[in-house]
Structure 1
């Protein structure tokens, strides 16, 4: 058994959305989240707890190879994310979890949003991301508050 979940807290909850502008407006105007980062097909927000992130389904699929299949209306969609301290830790977590039988979509890769990431799904197809920012940190910061 791996100790991964006992030493790495869930840092982000990421909802996969059809329209980043529409979804962002909802979370800012209706729920009061403060924008933190904005990049092509992606936005994240600070609230009172973990980071809330929104990611356009087409964008994540195009860049990562994760399925672009849409669930029918009324079906909930989400992506849980765990931020690690370094890209090397992403590689180590990948190796540890793969050895424990976790099936990944692909090995860790460097992506255009300046992060090293890898993705897997649970038995019910709930998506998980393990990531670390590459040198230079995150892109698209809006406000450092």
Structure 2
């Protein structure tokens, strides 16, 4: 199983939203960056995902979810009423992907970006590298273990 990190604004979809619907698989849609889309295409059922809260007062990793449905055509690209509508995308050749994810765990304490930046072994994690703004990114097994150990400190 692969490991991932996805960024979200808590006002859009937070770890608490996943927790409130713990028995439900939630679509992760609206991604409109080609590299992030390509990572979504690689996600498989059972993969674990860190939920990272961004663009808010308390920035950091807030919890873990699991992929319950691998990549499929993002339905928001076809909805003219959606802010994620893409008139160039067609049913025959969709440009954008979505996955479904389900709640696994809310961390007892947020793991802040500053803490991640100052943790040995996470220097190559795309999240902490300057200029990286991707909303979906892979996490190596080693990075995953380091991050998971931080919640115990």
TM-score by length of structure 2 reads 0.28
* Higher RCO structure, 1 or 2 (CA under 8 Å, sep 6+): 2
